[in-house]
Structure 1
Amino acid sequence: MASSSSAGHSNLQSFINSTTPSVPSHTLPKRSLEDWNSLWLPAGRDTVECFNLRDLWGQYTEWSAYGAGAEVLLHGGDIVDQYYVPYLSAIQIYTNKSRASSRNGASNCWSNGSAYRTLVDPRGSAVQEDAGLHHEGIRRAQEQFGYLYFEFIENNTPFGRPPLLEKVRELASIHPGLMSFESAELSPASWMSVAWYPIYHIPARPKVKDLSACFLTYHKLTSSCQDHMQGSTAEGVSCTRGGNRSSSSEGKSNHIALYPFGLATYRARGKLWTNPESGDDERVVSLYNAADSWLRQLEVVHNDFNFFSTH
């Protein structure tokens, strides 16, 4: 078998394909979403294709328990299945305040309007009238991006984190929208980041240092590919349905594959992961820049991203 370099094989793309969730999709009548910001919904159609967040988390059930296996072609020509455990690294859900409030009842995320944050000040509490910011500017930002219903940024070390599905269930016990929202009910500013850490590979290969690589992927939480973020350079955003693109979801109809729009790597500097003949170098740079631009635009301090960027 030819080496990964001579064959132009991309282990990076193999990892992305193997860890991209493929979510069952369905349609909703647009009139049922009429109290949502019309800028978020596609024009010219009576229905909206979407997915439920509960179904999205369901894609991580097996991965959280046993790891997600990615086929890796080693330099000598051998193939191993490298398994990774997903961890929820960060998530922001932007939505419409009145709809989310009525859906989730007296959830404390709306207590006195002080626990949710808007895009204007995503790292602080909700903007108050005496904040010195122009009310019209605040109103326009809320119309375009919505209210920050929920935010989580992981601070623990990887060894102290529960797998993604376990963490989501824990958070959903306090913020039920994590399990009930439809993607069509979310602003295009909604996103999540998943940290992938290796646990084992089959068959075992001792002293293959490059297999210790870790990855940080960024995914939109909406089913629309349209980019509403002003000045965004998140060119890697991809929504695919069925077999439109080679992936783990190939052959599935009525599914939406949430390919990452951003990526950061740790311990992946060797040629095992960035084969120059497959365009990996350019792909890594493009996806990294997209993630960096996204975080800067939302003014988010993402701990894992900072660590991956400096190590």
Structure 2
Amino acid sequence: MSCCCGSSLTNFERFLQRITPVVPSKTVSQNCISDLNALWQPLGKDTVEYFTLKDLWDCYKEWSAFGAGTNVMLESGDETVMQFFVPYLSSIHIYSDKSVVASRNRREEGDGVEFESDSWSDDSGSDNLSQSLSNNSSKSWDAVSEESCDQDGSWPRRDRLGYHYLQYTEMSSPYQRVPLVEKIAELARSHPALMTLKSVDLSPASWMAVAWYPIYAIPSVKNEKDLETCFLTYHTLSSSFQDNMKEYEDIELGKGICCCGGGAAQKELVGEKMTSGGGWMSVPPFGAAAYKMQGDIWVNPDSCDSERLTYLYSAADSWLRQLNLHHHDFNFFTSHSSL
């Protein structure tokens, strides 16, 4: 994707930067990864950088309680407000090595968390990943069909994708949802490995979508319809994609755009969490969608915001098509989008 922006960040760029989680990271030797998980890692590297899912969820604690605030320059150009958004888990899919998940489950059991030791389904006859889920429900799958993830050679065969440990898709209205960390805690009661898995444990098909809904602005602004805009962001959970995302991010940061979040400001944000000598990783969105977007607040006509949003939307659409998934929120955002 080509970019045409200068060094000044637009409102949309600041939003992407603000909602990009930055998590403490560690490295592990390739030799310490299971044979199946090793298939998902980049070639030619002795070590792999990873983060734990628990650390990722911790990034959303404050945002879930108070909202993530981002500076927004109003169309007048002479007034700035701090707009706050609350994150809600829209969808999550976890694929891993079954033995690794079992190991992570046992660790959680040792910490006093109760769970079913054998939560795997033998329903290998499922012919796609798009089964609708009822409100506040999740389902464990033992395998993924070849038809779902081997379209046009885009995805590896089932035995290389791993086991579909968790599938959850939110179907309720925004007013009936609970913030992301509360939903994760609820899912973890039946899927405890959700708190102990590492990004290096997960296959490339592991991902989540976060819906961001506005709650208030400081100072309060009347009749500013564009501050009602809602966003949907898609994030990979697998280490196998993190290197590519980081390289892409570094290129954009080098141009002063910060297209996918991260950067020096994000390093400062994570500083308080880090122990001495630790590393950090950002988990920027690879896809996005928006609705209730009016005027030019979020799409600056003098920038490449429109191209960037179109690119991110197309990436999300392509991702869902490759997995043969019907994502409830994405369909809603699409039907209400002005793009």
Aligned to 2:31: 31
Structure 1 counterpart of 2:158, which letter? Q
User: Cα–Cα, structure 1 residues 224 and 7, in superposed 2: closer, same or farther, change >3 Å?
Assistant: closer
Query: Which 4+ runs in 1 deviate beyond 4 A?
Result: 5-9, 124-129, 235-240
Partner of 1:53: 53
Q: CA RMSD in A?
A: 3.2
Does residue 180 of structure 1 match 2:196?
A: yes
Return 5+ residue gaps in structure 2 as ranges.
107-115, 132-140, 255-261, 272-277
User: Do the aligned partners of 2:37 and 2:96 also contact (CA within 8 Å) in 1?
Assistant: no
The answer to whether the Cα contact below 8 Å between 1:109 and 1:150 also exists between their aligned partners in 2 is: no
Whole-angstrom distance in 2 between the partners of 1:226 and 1:166: 26
For residues 196-235 of structure 1, what are the structure 2 equivalents within 5 Å? 196-225=212-241
Distance 1:248 1:161, change over 3 A: farther
Q: Counterpart amino acid of 2:203?
A: S
Contact 1:122 1:300 in 2 (8 A): yes
Aligned length: 291
Q: Deviations over 1:85-113 (max 9, x none)?
A: 000000001111233234325545314x2
SS in structure 1 of the partner of residue 101 of structure 2 = helix
Match of 2:94 in 1: 93
CA distance in 2, matches of 1:269, 1:117: 45
TM-score (norm 1): 0.83
Corresponding position of 2:119: 109
CA contact (8 A) 1:69 1:82 kept: yes
Contact 2:52 2:196 in 1 (8 A): yes
* In 2: Cα distance, 1:45 partner to 1:7 partner: 34
- Quick check: 2:36–2:160 contact (8 Å CA) kept in 1? no
Q: Report the equivalent of 1:305.
A: 330
Sort the Cα spacing of 1:99 and 1:299 in 2 relative to 1 into closer, same or farther, 3 A. Answer: same
1:238 Cα shift?
5.1
Rounded Cα–Cα distance in structure 1 between residues aligned with 2:144 and 2:11 = 49
Q: 1:98 to 1:6 in 2, by over 3 A?
A: closer
**What's 1:19 paired with?**
19
Residue 197 of structure 2 aligns with an amino acid whose one-letter code is F
The answer to whether the 8 A contact 2:89-2:180 is kept is yes
TM-score (structure 2 length as normaliser): 0.77
**5+ unaligned residues in a row in structure 1: which ranges?**
229-234
